[in-house]
Chain A
Amino acid sequence: MEFLIQQDELRDSARRVLDRKASRRLPAAQDGGVQWSDPGLWRTIADLGWLGIAVPEVMGGLGQPFYVLATLYQELGRVLSAQPFSSATIGLGAFVRCGGTASVLVDQAIAGDSVIVLTSGLGTVGASVAGTKTVLSGTVRTVPDAGIATHLLVPIDCGEPALALVGLPHPGVSVVHQSTWDQTRQVFDVAFADAEIDSAAVLVRGDAATSLLDHAAAQLDLALACDAIGGSDAIFAETLDYMGIRQQFGRPIASFQALKHRCADLKMAMEASRSLTEAACRAFSDDCDGWRAAAACSRLYAGSVYRTVTEEAVQFHGGIGFTWEHDCHLFLKRARLSEVIAGSSEQRKDQVAPALFRAAYA
């Protein structure tokens, strides 16, 4: 890498681009529900090179370490962005790691003209080989941003784990929007009904596929952890502002010790989860031992802190926080959805326990 983007400079420039509260809610869904919340902003994001920021330079990206990309996840989380940025960067990253033969697609994805979405989620897709064709069947539920994808990168089970690339639209593949409480993002059920693809589109198999999926899962965990940190920070700052203005009993409610102490606890938890997540992002960037567990732990902690911060934000805003009109609930609902993408917190704790417990005896 010839140059390293400074995180604070990137953060500042991201804030200038993203600072529009108006884009916090997706417009009401039209037929089929697939939305681009703000195509102009997507164009800007692509023009700034953000989509390829962590893609190696030889592949046309900016070749930055992952933690630079993580800064953007945080900033997009701060504004409750509806942009499919994390899905697109995770999908592109996974595709590049597949061997990246189709560099036209990489170019298009970096330019924002194609969006590759990895359909990790709830459910598996089976595959059987028929001549030079492979036939996919099965449903993956609640995949974020799949409806915006031009290409799906599909984890499949063909006796061994593998990954297949499917361009959309494709016969036998349906992508159906599912309405969610979270008004800031979109999820889709992706169904394969005996969808026939070229076997050449099965890009990796076996251990290579498993390791690639691990890597992508860690990236998703870190993206959601960063999103949670950005969101917590934003709604907490707004809540503190409100508490300084809102007067009851002749004084700002921010002066009540009962509330101050709860805010102090939130600040402590936010600092702790931020620090943990930043360390995990570095570990992931540098391929340090334990990066997979560190990523999962970051998401667990930052996610639970986001939940608590957004619950308290509603509570501290009082009646206004309970209204549809106010933005508090947007953060709360985003936090609740983030915690259960691709599995529950309990499942994640069970998955991470062996690695954490082994380390405890080290």
Chain B
Amino acid sequence: MTEDQARLQAFRTEVQTWFKDNVPADWRAGQTGVGTEDFLSFQRHWMKLLVAAGLATPHWAKGWPGGGRPLDEQIVIAEEMARADAPRLILYFVSLYHAAMTLMEWGNEAQKARHLPAILDGEIWCQGFSEPNAGSDLASLKTRAERQGDCYIVNGQKIWSTVGQYADYCLLLVRTDTTVPKQAGITFLLMDMKSPGIERRPIRQITGDEEFAEMFLTDVRIPVANRLGEENAGWRIAQTTLNSERGLTILELSERLSRSRWRLLEAMGAQDGVVADDQLRREAVDVFIRIDALRALVGEMMAKLVAGQEVGGAASIVKLLYAQVLREFTALGLRASAMQSQLLAPFTLGGGHETGNWSFDYMNSFMWTIAGGSNEIQRNIISERVLGMPREKYA
């Protein structure tokens, strides 16, 4: 065993033990069919535990509590989280990754001092990037910010802000120059969600769950001191935000999917691991093989990241693959469980993508084929950047 392997093995044991001792055994039942308040208080509780154990912030810079973990140890945490079937920390995900990573790279000392400790204490962040007419074509965003003394006056509409209805702060992209190419006129602001002029509404998804919000901004005053980086330099900063996960999310989700395979067999009425129906059995084999392929490909990508290499288009390939395999998995579970899954049943909040409520899981899988760069956008990226096919003409 090399020194690295020994270090990782020791760390894995430590993390495994922690999760074993701390993941509430009955949390899935406890978070099924509950209201917002129960969800929020459980997420707060889980966040406190993870922060105290240093397991919420391994990706933060050295010097911060829990921070400075090398990527291979972050991978161990993600894997063990999946193995332990730990609750997903969805209320704080944007805070811990998008907000924290962007602040650490681009924030000034005052901004870092104001927000990073607050995030550890549970400050909730959301992302104000997408707009009704700026989805896949994010850079065409139109929310306007006019400089007025030491404030920006912001008007516009944002949509698909994860946990936006609960957020204390928002990573906001605004247009500050309409006369230049679209990417060159965007500024990155930090918006206090208590500011007057913000109206937010939860968006009810096709699952019935409400994980996102839309925001209407009317003459919202944001101090210039809350600008991240220079005016009109926001597009580049936004790339940091969008790349803040470094493959860890897809790794964790692939592991969770893999560990949920038994649910599909249950849906097929497996007896002692035997599925009697030829068609279903063979389709389950196909999906399981693709799950293993996904994990192999994610593993390759993570190994490259650990070695400090560029992954390029591999991230798009992995995302497209995950989205498709998740769809296949949930659609097959839905089919196999037949009428049973057509009857309404309560769903689990923060339970990830494989809850065993097959209609919910199937509907929820569309999140992955649409959000974070739709399958179609990923296919553009793969065909143009990986395969070198001619580019689309973009406005």
Question: How many angstroms between the C-alpha atoms of A252 and B391 in the bound complex?
Answer: 11
Query: Chain B residues near A300 (CB, 8 Å)?
Result: 285-286, 289
Given the contacts A254-B389, A255-B390, A276 and B289 also touching, CB distance less than 8 Å: yes
Taking a contact as CB atoms under 8 Å apart, the answer to whether A268 and B321 are in contact is yes
**B78 within 8 Å of A (CB atoms):** no
Taking a contact as CB atoms under 8 Å apart, the answer to whether B382 and A267 are in contact is yes
Given the contacts A263-B383, A357-B270, A271 and B297 also touching, CB distance less than 8 Å: yes
Question: How many angstroms between the C-alpha atoms of A279 and B273 in the bound complex?
Answer: 25
**B38 within 8 Å of A (CB atoms):** no
Question: How many angstroms between the C-alpha atoms of A353 and B293 in the bound complex?
Answer: 16
Query: Chain A residues near B278 (CB, 8 Å)?
Result: 346, 350
Query: Chain B residues near A257 (CB, 8 Å)?
Result: 380, 392
Question: How many angstroms between the C-alpha atoms of A252 and B265 in the bound complex?
Answer: 47
Interface hub of B278, B289, B297, B388 (most chain A Cβ within 10 A): B289
Query: Chain B residues near A251 (CB, 8 Å)?
Result: 390
Given the contacts A275-B300, A354-B273, A361-B273, A301 and B289 also touching, CB distance less than 8 Å: yes
**A360 within 8 Å of B (CB atoms):** yes
C-beta contact mask, B286-310 vs A, less than 8 Å → 1, else 0?
1011101110110110000000000
Residues A278-326 near B (CB distance < 8 A): 278-279, 294, 297, 300-301
**A16 within 8 Å of B (CB atoms):** no
Taking a contact as CB atoms under 8 Å apart, the answer to whether A261 and B379 are in contact is yes
**B384 within 8 Å of A (CB atoms):** yes
Residues B353-395 near A (CB distance < 8 A): 376, 378-380, 382-384, 386-390, 392
Q: Which residue of A lies closest to B261 (CB)?
A: A360
Question: How many angstroms between the C-alpha atoms of A294 and B295 in the bound complex?
Answer: 13
Taking a contact as CB atoms under 8 Å apart, the answer to whether A273 and B288 are in contact is no
Question: How many angstroms between the C-alpha atoms of A279 and B289 in the bound complex?
Answer: 12
**A352 within 8 Å of B (CB atoms):** yes
Given the contacts A276-B292, A297-B292, A301-B293, A263 and B387 also touching, CB distance less than 8 Å: yes
**B64 within 8 Å of A (CB atoms):** no
C-beta contact mask, A254-274 vs B, less than 8 Å → 1, else 0?
110100110111011001110
**B281 within 8 Å of A (CB atoms):** yes
**A349 within 8 Å of B (CB atoms):** yes
Question: How many angstroms between the C-alpha atoms of A260 and B386 in the bound complex?
Answer: 11
Judged by DSSP, the binding face of B is helix
Taking a contact as CB atoms under 8 Å apart, the answer to whether A297 and B289 are in contact is yes
Question: How many angstroms between the C-alpha atoms of A184 and B384 in the bound complex?
Answer: 33
Given the contacts A271-B297, A297-B289, A263 and B389 also touching, CB distance less than 8 Å: yes
**A243 within 8 Å of B (CB atoms):** yes
Given the contacts A271-B317, A301-B290, A357 and B273 also touching, CB distance less than 8 Å: yes
B111 to chain A, nearest CB (A): 39
Question: How many angstroms between the C-alpha atoms of A246 and B31 in the bound complex?
Answer: 57
Query: Chain B residues near A158 (CB, 8 Å)?
Result: none
Question: How many angstroms between the C-alpha atoms of A251 and B391 in the bound complex?
Answer: 12
Given the contacts A273-B293, A275-B293, A275-B296, A357 and B265 also touching, CB distance less than 8 Å: yes
A201 to chain B, nearest CB (A): 38
Question: How many angstroms between the C-alpha atoms of A346 and B384 in the bound complex?
Answer: 36
Judged by DSSP, the binding face of A is helix
**B11 within 8 Å of A (CB atoms):** no
B340 to chain A, nearest CB (A): 20
Query: Chain B residues near A361 (CB, 8 Å)?
Result: 262, 265, 273
Taking a contact as CB atoms under 8 Å apart, the answer to whether A354 and B274 are in contact is yes
**A358 within 8 Å of B (CB atoms):** yes
Taking a contact as CB atoms under 8 Å apart, the answer to whether B389 and A272 are in contact is no
A63 to chain B, nearest CB (A): 23
Question: How many angstroms between the C-alpha atoms of A300 and B288 in the bound complex?
Answer: 12
Taking a contact as CB atoms under 8 Å apart, the answer to whether B285 and A353 are in contact is yes
Taking a contact as CB atoms under 8 Å apart, the answer to whether B296 and A278 are in contact is yes
Question: How many angstroms between the C-alpha atoms of A300 and B314 in the bound complex?
Answer: 23
**B282 within 8 Å of A (CB atoms):** yes
Question: How many angstroms between the C-alpha atoms of A361 and B270 in the bound complex?
Answer: 11
**B237 within 8 Å of A (CB atoms):** no
Query: Chain A residues near B163 (CB, 8 Å)?
Result: none
C-beta contact mask, B180-206 vs A, less than 8 Å → 1, else 0?
000000000000000000000000000
Question: How many angstroms between the C-alpha atoms of A296 and B282 in the bound complex?
Answer: 13
Residues A341-355 near B (CB distance < 8 A): 346, 349-350, 352-354
Taking a contact as CB atoms under 8 Å apart, the answer to whether B389 and A240 are in contact is yes
Q: List 7 A-B contacts (CB under 8 A).
A: A244-B389, A257-B392, A264-B379, A275-B300, A297-B285, A349-B281, A360-B264
Please report B residues at the A interface, Cβ cutoff 8 Å.
261-262, 264-265, 270, 273-275, 278, 281-282, 284-286, 288-290, 292-294, 296-297, 299-300, 314, 317, 320-321, 324, 376, 378-380, 382-384, 386-390, 392
- Given pairs A271-B321, A349-B281, A350-B278, 5 additional interface contacts (CB within 8 A): A268-B320, A268-B321, A356-B285, A360-B261, A360-B264
